[in-house]
């Protein structure tokens, strides 16, 4: 599902003529098989979030290749990757990234609007997906009217509504209490087992890391090891 081949990346800091090069990733290679949950762990500043941004096409690497479902995406331009994301990827964020002026239904419906799906079909798919995450009765609630766990479930519904084969998650439980985190992780495992969705999860939380089939540890921009859980 994912092949990361010899990825290296550095950021340039400072003004023209006085730029400093800050290495972030160095020769990163790993793969994620279809149907796996793989977690990437590392301390803050280890490069794991930069890696996720490269895989999802928000940053173009200085060197190396990224393949998703046998398509080399690292050479895509911005428009090509935007279309690829819409068709193939779902995202779960630490801070949910819901639009506060939209209801739960409207937040979930939004990717379908971008895909050009007609209103009747959008309504059917959005309501079906909200029901799948147990929040259909809250479809007319705004994010401010929902708990943290409910907001995260809305964000999961938004990721699921386009039926992506792969979901990328960045610290998905970072804003949740322990009990809600447990519920979220159980739900991710159910989605993986029941729907066959592949997950790549960035985390520094051991509890989150332990739901993965494999864990990849990154330190100082390098892969330390891959460990079977």
pLDDT at position 176:
82
> How does pLDDT run across 148-202, given as a tens digit for each residue?
889 999 999 999 998 899 999 998 888 788 888 888 898 899 999 998 999 999 9
Work out the pLDDT band at 225, boundaries 50, 70, 90.
Answer: low
HSE toward the beta carbon, residue 13, CA cutoff 13 A: 7
pLDDT at position 17:
67
CATH architecture for the domain at 2-228: 3-Layer(aba) Sandwich (3.40)
Eight-class DSSP state of 14: S
> How does pLDDT run across 21-75, given as a tens digit for each residue?
889 999 999 999 999 999 999 888 889 999 999 999 999 999 999 999 999 999 9
CB 41 within 8 A of CB 8: no
Q: Which two structure tokens, joined as six digits, stand for 141?
A: 């609630």
Rounded to two decimals, the pTM is: 0.87
Q: Where are the domains of the chain?
A: 2-228
Q: Tokens 């895909």 label which residue?
A: 115
> How does pLDDT run across 75-102, given as a tens digit for each residue?
999 999 999 998 899 998 888 899 999 9
> How does pLDDT run across 108-154, given as a tens digit for each residue?
999 999 999 999 999 999 999 999 889 999 999 999 999 988 999 99
Eight-class DSSP state of 149: H
CB 104 within 8 A of CB 45: no
């Amino acid at each position: 599902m994912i092949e990361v081949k010899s990825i290296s990346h550095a950021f340039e800091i400072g003004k023209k003529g006085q730029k400093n090069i800050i290495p972030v990733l160095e020769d990163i290679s790993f793969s994620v098989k279809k149907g796996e949950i793989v977690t990437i762990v590392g301390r803050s500043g280890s490069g794991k979030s930069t890696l996720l941004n490269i895989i999802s096409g928000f940053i173009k690497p200085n060197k190396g290749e990224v393949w998703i479902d046998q398509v080399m995406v690292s050479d895509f331009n911005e428009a090509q990757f935007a279309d690829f994301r819409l068709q193939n990827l779902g995202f779960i964020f630490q801070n949910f990234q819901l639009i506060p002026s939209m209801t739960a239904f409207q937040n979930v419906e939004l990717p379908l609007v971008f895909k050009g799906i007609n209103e009747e079909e959008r309504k059917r798919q959005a309501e079906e997906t909200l029901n799948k995450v147990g929040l259909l009765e809250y479809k007319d609630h705004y994010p401010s009217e929902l708990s943290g766990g409910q907001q995260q479930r809305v964000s999961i519904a938004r990721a699921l509504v386009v039926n992506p084969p792969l979901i990328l998650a960045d610290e998905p439980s970072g804003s949740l209490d322990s009990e809600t985190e447990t519920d979220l992780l159980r739900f991710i495992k159910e989605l993986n087992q029941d729907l066959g969705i592949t997950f790549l999860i960035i985390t520094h939380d051991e509890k989150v890391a332990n739901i993965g089939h494999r864990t990849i540890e990154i330190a100082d921009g390098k892969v330390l090891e891959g460990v079977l859980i």
